């Protein structure tokens, strides 16, 4: 319940945050965003940083904006702010579908998109949507900004491409351009984190699937694309049979020996859930496609 002592610094800007990171490079330093992973870890003694740099109030890190075909989400944008933004729903439906199911009401009022992605918890909800959305993560460090595709951003459990004096500043998502985004999640009953969470982004041309991207959270040590599912479904008519067939390939590229295996679910059961929830994510997409077709 009681964090160990630390020094707290509030950064006013990205450059101040980077300066602070550099100044405290020799100490154990953590960036504080929404705090919903960090503070519980500090309160239960799992994490004891010497220095906390609070970036949650940095204005330039907050907000959702559209620039041409790209939706940009500031790293410190709270989940609830994303959900309140119509453009986010329109251009990044896979992201908003996942955020709707993330945490709980209070967590969504406080937690941030960037905090989530930077933390890279294998059981967090956003790596999958970042992957299916073909997102670019923009990182700022002493040498300025650099862009990292989502595919290259996640290294493994709690490990990303963010360097020691860098921070994630925004996520850029190419517009879904009418594609349907869904998220199907089997939450742990205790923590609410996904045992398996499947994100899908499906575009159709008439009845046929013109493009589909599917990714899973909670199954491996970081979010993963399910390419065999994508390959099987592309060009098919989006219906129960095609979905069932495609979902059966969900675990094909994944090594079950490397799958998450813990108190919440064994690797074998995760593999089963992966297939079931892939099916559900795609069925949901299929229903939404039908509904929007009917509405047209």
Partner 1 sequence: MAEHDITLTVNGTEHELEVESRTLLVHALRDELGYTGTNVGCETSTCGACTVHLDGDAVKSCTLLAVQADGATVDTVEGLADHGEFHPIQTGFQEEHGLQCGYCTPGMMMTATDLLEENPDPSREEIREGLEGNLCRCTGYQNIVNAVENAAETMGSGAVADGGSVEELAGGDACASDPNAGAETTDRCEVRWPDEGESE
Partner 2 sequence: MSIESLDPDDVDAADILGSAIERREDPALITGEAEYTDDIQLPEMLHMAILRSQHGHAEISDVDTGAAEEMDGVVAVYTHDDVADEAVSRDGSLLIPTGWLLDSLRQVDHPVLAKDKVRYQGDAIAVVVAEDRYVAHDATNAIDVDYERLDASADPDAALDGEAGQLHDDAEGNVAFDWEIGDEERTEEAFDDAAHTVSLDLENQLLIANAMEPRAAVADYHPGTDELDVFMTSQNPHLHRLLMSGVIGHPEHKLRVKAPDVGGGFGCKIHHYADEALVALVARDLERPVKWTSTRTEGYKTDAPGRGHVTTAELAMDDDGNITGLRVDTKANLGAYLSTFAPAVPTYLYGTLLSGQYDIPAIHASVTGAYTNVPPVDAYRGAGRPEASFLVERLASLGAREAGIDPAEFRKKNFVPDNAFPYQTQVAVEYDSGEYGKPMEKALETVDYDAFRERQEEAREEGRYLGIGFSCYIEACGLAPSELAGQLGAQAGLWESSLVRFHPSGTVTAFCGTSGHGQGHGTTYAQIVANELGIPYEDVEVVEGDTDEIPQGMGTYGSRSAAVGGSALVKSSQKLVEKAREIAAHQLEADPADVEFEGGEFGVSGTDRSLGIKEIAQQSYLAHDMPDDMEPGLEATSFYDPDNFVFPFGTHVAVVEVDPESGEIEFENYVAVDDVGNQINPKIVEGQIHGGVAQGIGQALYEGAVYDGNAQLLTGSMQDYAVPKSLHIPDMETESTVTPCPHNPLGVKGVGEAGTIAAPQAVVNAVTDALEPFGVDTVEMPMTAERVWNAVNEQATADGGDAADATDADTATDADADTGGEN
Residues that bind partner 1 (CB under 8 A): 1-10, 32, 35-36, 39-40, 42-44, 52, 54, 56, 80, 103-107, 109-110, 190-192
Q: 54 is in the binding site of which of partner 2, partner 1, none (Cβ under 5 to 8 A by kind)?
A: partner 1
For residue 191 the two structure tokens come to 């923590």
Sheet bearing 7-10, strands edge to edge: 7-10, 51-54, 29-32
For residues 207 and 104, give the distance between their C-alpha atoms in angstroms, rounded to a whole number. Answer: 36
Task: Say which entry of partner 2, partner 1, none residue 74 contacts (CB below 5 to 8 A, set by partner kind).
Answer: none
Residue closer to partner 2 (CB basis): 121 or 236: 121
Is 237 a residue that touches partner 2 (CB under 8 A)?
Answer: no
d(C-alpha 25, C-alpha 20), whole Å: 8
> Contact between 266 and partner 2 (CB under 8 A)?
yes
Residue ranges in 170-229 that form contacts with partner 2 under rule CB under 8 A: 186, 188-191
Q: Does 241 bind partner 2 (CB under 8 A)?
A: no
Q: How many CB atoms lie within 10 A of CB 226?
A: 31
DSSP H helices, the chain, are 14-23, 38-43, 79-83, 86-91, 93-100, 105-108, 113-119, 127-132, 150-153, 227-233, 240-247, 267-295
Q: Which own/partner contact pairs does 55-60 have at CB distance under 8 Å and 24+ positions apart?
A: 55/11, 55/14, 55/17, 55/31, 55/167, 56/32, 56/112, 57/10, 57/11, 57/12, 58/11, 58/12, 58/13, 58/14, 58/17, 60/13, 60/14, 60/169
Closest separation in Å from C-beta 7 to partner 1: 4
**Nearest CB to partner 2, comparing residues 178 and 239:** 239
**Among residues 23, 70, 90, 269, the one that binds partner 2 under rule CB under 8 A:** 269
Residue 277, token pair as written in the block: 């929830």
At closest approach, how far in Å is the CB of 10 from partner 1?
Answer: 8
Cβ proximity to partner 2, 148 vs 276, nearer residue: 276
Per DSSP, the three-state class of 158 is coil
Of 189 and 206, which has the nearer Cβ to partner 2? 189
Per CB under 8 A, 1 contacts partner 2: yes
Q: For residue 40, state whether it binds partner 2 (rule: CB under 8 A).
A: yes
- Rounded-to-integer distance, Cα 176 and Cα 134, Å: 10
Binds 242, which of partner 1, partner 2, none (CB < 5 to 8 A, cut-off by type)? none
Please give the Cα distance from 87 to 177 (Å, whole number).
11
We find the least distance from the C-beta atom of residue 6 to partner 1, in angstroms, to be 6
Give yes or no for residue 2 binding partner 2 (CB under 8 A): yes
Which residues lie near partner 2 (CB under 8 A)? 1-2, 4-5, 40, 44-45, 186, 188-191, 263, 265-266, 269, 272-273, 276
């Amino acid at each position: 319940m009681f964090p160990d002592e630390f020094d707290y610094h509030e950064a006013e800007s990205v450059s101040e945050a980077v300066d602070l990171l550099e100044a405290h490079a020799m100490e154990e330093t953590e960036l504080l965003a929404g705090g919903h992973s960090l503070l519980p870890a500090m309160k239960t003694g799992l994490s004891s940083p010497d220095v906390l740099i609070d970036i949650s109030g940095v204005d330039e890190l907050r907000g959702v904006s559209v620039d041409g075909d790209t939706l940009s989400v500031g790293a410190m944008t709270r989940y609830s702010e994303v959900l309140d933004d119509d453009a986010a729903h329109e251009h990044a439906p896979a992201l908003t579908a996942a955020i709707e199911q993330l945490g709980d009401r209070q967590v969504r009022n406080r937690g941030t998109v960037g905090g989530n992605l930077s933390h890279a918890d294998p059981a967090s909800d956003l790596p999958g949507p970042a992957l299916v959305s073909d997102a670019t993560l923009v990182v700022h460090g002493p040498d300025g900004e650099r862009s990292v595709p989502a595919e290259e951003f996640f290294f493994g459990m709690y490990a990303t491409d963010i360097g020691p004096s860098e921070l994630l500043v925004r996520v850029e998502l190419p517009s879904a351009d009418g594609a349907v985004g869904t998220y199907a999640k089997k939450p742990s009953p205790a923590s609410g984190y996904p045992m398996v969470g499947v994100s899908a982004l499906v575009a159709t041309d008439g009845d046929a699937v013109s493009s589909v991207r599917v990714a899973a959270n909670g199954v491996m040590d970081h979010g993963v694309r399910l390419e065999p599912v994508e390959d099987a479904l592309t060009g098919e008519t989006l219906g129960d049979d095609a979905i069932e067939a495609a979902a059966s390939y969900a675990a094909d590229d994944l090594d079950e020996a490397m799958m998450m295996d813990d108190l919440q679910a064994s690797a074998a059961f995760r593999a089963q859930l992966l297939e079931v929830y892939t099916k559900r994510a795609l069925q949901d997409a299929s229903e939404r496609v039908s509904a929007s077709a009917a509405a047209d």
